[in-house]
Amino acid sequence: MNKKTTLLTFSLLLGSSYAFSQIANAQAYSLRDTTNLNEVIINQNRLQIPFSKQTRNIQIITKEDIKRFPARSINELLAYISGVDIRQRGPFGSQADVNIDGGTFEQTLILLNGAKISDPQTAHHSLNLPIPTDAIERIEIIKGPASRIYGINSLTGAINIVTKTAESNLISAQVYAGSSFEKSEDAQHGKYYGKGIQLGFANKMGHFGQQLYLGHEDSNGQRYNTASKNNKIYYQGNYTPNSNNEVSTAVGYIDNQFGANGFYAAPGDKESYELVKTAFATLQSKHQLGKRFTLSPRISNRYNEDDYRYLRHDLTKARSKHYNNAFMTELNAVYEQDYGSFGIGVESRFENINSSNIGRHSRENYGGYFEFKTEMIKNLLINIGTYVNYNSDYSWQVFPGIDLGYEINNQWKLVFNAGSSQRIPSFTDLYLNQRPANIGNPALTSERARQVEGAVKYADAHIIAHAGYFYRTINDFIDWTREVNTEPWQPQNMDKNEVQGFNFNFRLDLNDPVATTKYYTTLGYNYLHPKVKDATMGNASKYAIESLRHQANVNFTVSHKEWSLTTANRFNERISYKSYFISDIRLSHNIAKLNLYVDAQNLFNVKYIEAGAVPMPGTWYTMGIKYSMGY
């Protein structure tokens, strides 16, 4: 294993060096088919800031990355980004948690085109999304406290999924199937396999564009009672009557079912099964009212059903049924002046739950925010603002922040930011009653974070690099604890959670437009040093010691004419678990309107666990075909 890892690492470094040597003399080369990230506008609801002007630690998965990576779900795509910790409980997106820079899965906010779609019951289901990768323009990962930008619950960061808009008439279809070619532990199911199909439709007619995607995935499970299946539908419409006005809507639904053996309460949950249904809808618009004033209203709704069956063959015992809904309204505005830009807005969010073992509860949240951005001082970018929040359970709180950027020259920039944020306990944290295993704590207070970060950035048309250090404290950090070898688990407010971190990211895209062979490289490294100060040290903990200490990602693509080969590699060392190195490969070939690809994931058959007590699959092979036709 060590020899194989060393050999692959050496090969990657050698390949990267070869790529650099081949392109070192191409100073006049320009980007071929990728979006120039320096021109991308980061979707922050109020102030629209180009990536090149950003003073935050933001990483982007582009639509070209999505095509190249050996991944078919949002979960798998995020796993290739350093600083993002994806903890899957099986392939094909059955269930996965996500956190940023050592936070918990409850501390990361999930958004769709700026609309919040996180689950108020439990963030275990925040990534239960029907959005196919073919519909995604890019994924923005904003690291650090983001309450000044997105409001509450963005304690350690936010992930914003930005979808494409229909620009032509297109019909697409994709089928894929995969297997480890090993026998499932469940003898009744034979070889372990998974398969999926997706249909897409896009239409552009005058000022109106729309997209519709249908999908189905299923797997028989690599272990006893881990089979899964899901059905998805996603629709998006955009209406642009003129250059000053645009309206868009998105509607999605997913029915996700999976055997949950070892997911949450091992070893007693061997027969557990879970059904999760999620629906959401958003309606938003943007209006340019004069040369200096822009108004952007939005309404959104997210509904979720969670049916957890601890004993799938006996529904009269230990069954949990949850129904929750979150409705949100927003009004964002921008006022431009010669000396700077003002962003202001208000929002409200209404959450409720009706559950067999959480009960019936509701709460309201109201927020207002103000930002000011200016470049009046030579070479200095200043973005300062605050978010004021009122919650019906936790009263008033204020979250100020400031971002500074000093441009040394057109490529180099020094940045500094300081901010604060809040995470309100979920309904599960507060009211869960699953005795004797888990009970909530209605006396919990909200988590409050403060973070400072300094970094140096380099950006031109071909290279984007970032190296930074941050220090974060979380007061009243919420962790599920219990006395060792006793039950039940119960969440408690800890004294303080401190994290120091260093991160480095590098992206290279430098190619001759007429060359037949091209290279793309992304590198990333994250180091975290967490510390928990708590009066109950010695108790068993679910989340306080699960973050990654070391995380490295190396992704390299070489394409020649219609062929493309990508190797995506990640090294993770978790504080509470042994380290592991995962290598994935995709080989693809375009033939007219067809794209054929073959993936090999976990190439070295590494045995590892990301979440719960669920061992992830060994080497996994997938073959897929995509067909696209204009009309």
CA dist., res. 183 & res. 539, Å (int): 39
Output 628 or 182, whichever has higher pLDDT.
Answer: 628
- Residues 228-245, mean pLDDT to the nearest whole number: 96
Say yes or no to pLDDT of 188 above 70: no
Closest CA to 259 of 276, 236, 234: 276
For residue 93, what pLDDT is reported? 64
Say yes or no to pLDDT of 118 above 80: yes
Q: Which amino acid is at 90?
A: G
Residue ranges of domains in the chain = 2-630
The per-residue pLDDT for range 193-209, each reduced to its tens digit, is: 899 999 999 999 999 99
For residue 26, what pLDDT is reported? 35
CB–CB of 82/552 below 8 Å?
Answer: yes
The per-residue pLDDT for range 79-111, each reduced to its tens digit, is: 999 999 998 876 666 788 999 999 888 999 999
- Residues 226-251, mean pLDDT to the nearest whole number: 95
CB–CB of 268/316 below 8 Å?
Answer: no
CA dist., res. 13 & res. 158, Å (int): 31
Would you tell me which CATH number, out of the four given (2.40.170.20, 3.90.1330.10, 3.30.70.100, 2.40.128.110), belongs to the domain 2-630?
2.40.170.20
- 424, β-bridge pairs: none
List helix spans (H) across 341-487: 427-431
Position 578 confidence tier, pLDDT thresholds 50, 70, 90: confident
CA dist., res. 222 & res. 321, Å (int): 27
Q: What is the 3-state secondary structure (H, E, C) of 551-607?
A: EEEEEEEEEECCEEEEEEEEEEEECCCCEEEEEEEEEEEEECCEEEEEEEECCCCCC
Burial of 164 (0-12, 13-18, 19+ CB in 10 A): middle
Closest CA to 163 of 138, 141, 180, 200: 138
Burial of 138 (0-12, 13-18, 19+ CB in 10 A): buried
Compute the C-alpha angle 509/512/514, nearest 5°: 135
* Lowest mean pLDDT, pick from 409-413, 422-426, 443-447, 607-611: 607-611
Q: Count the Cβ atoms, other than its own, within 10 Å of residue 363.
A: 17
191: which 2 tokens?
């070889």
Q: Specify the pTM.
A: 0.91
Contacts (Cβ under 8 Å, ≥6 apart) of 265:
272, 310, 437, 438
331: which 2 tokens?
């009004």
CB–CB of 449/477 below 8 Å?
Answer: no
- Residues 394-414, mean pLDDT to the nearest whole number: 94
CA dist., res. 506 & res. 528, Å (int): 19
**Strands 108-112 and 157-163: what pairing?**
parallel
CB–CB of 366/348 below 8 Å?
Answer: yes
For residue 529, what pLDDT is reported? 93
Contacts (Cβ under 8 Å, ≥6 apart) of 336:
291, 292, 293, 294, 342
Output 269 or 39, whichever has higher pLDDT.
Answer: 269
Position 78 confidence tier, pLDDT thresholds 50, 70, 90: very high
- Residues 461-474, mean pLDDT to the nearest whole number: 93
Say yes or no to pLDDT of 381 above 80: yes
End-to-end CA distance of the chain: 50
CA dist., res. 307 & res. 101, Å (int): 31
CA dist., res. 300 & res. 499, Å (int): 34
CA dist., res. 625 & res. 321, Å (int): 38
Q: How far is residue 463 from each of residues 36, 339, 378, 466, 623, measured CA to CA in Å?
A: 10, 30, 24, 10, 32
Say yes or no to pLDDT of 1 above 80: no
The per-residue pLDDT for range 275-330, each reduced to its tens digit, is: 999 999 999 999 999 999 999 999 999 999 999 999 999 999 889 999 999 999 99
The number of C-alpha atoms within 13 Å of 358 and in the hemisphere containing its C-beta is 24
The number of C-alpha atoms within 13 Å of 161 and in the hemisphere containing its C-beta is 25
For residue 611, what pLDDT is reported? 79
3-class SS of residue 430: helix
Edge-first strand order for the sheet with 157-163 is 58-62, 136-143, 157-163, 108-112, 115-116
CB–CB of 34/51 below 8 Å?
Answer: no
* Residue burial 235-244, b: 16+ Cβ < 10 Å; e: rest: bbbbebeeee
Cis preceding-peptide flag for 513 (omega within 30 of 0): no
For residue 187, what pLDDT is reported? 53
CB–CB of 121/426 below 8 Å?
Answer: yes
257: which 2 tokens?
């079912």
The per-residue pLDDT for range 592-603, each reduced to its tens digit, is: 899 999 999 999
Output 268 or 93, whichever has higher pLDDT.
Answer: 268
Residue 7: its H or E element = helix 2-23
Say yes or no to pLDDT of 416 above 80: yes
Q: Which amino acid is at 353?
A: I
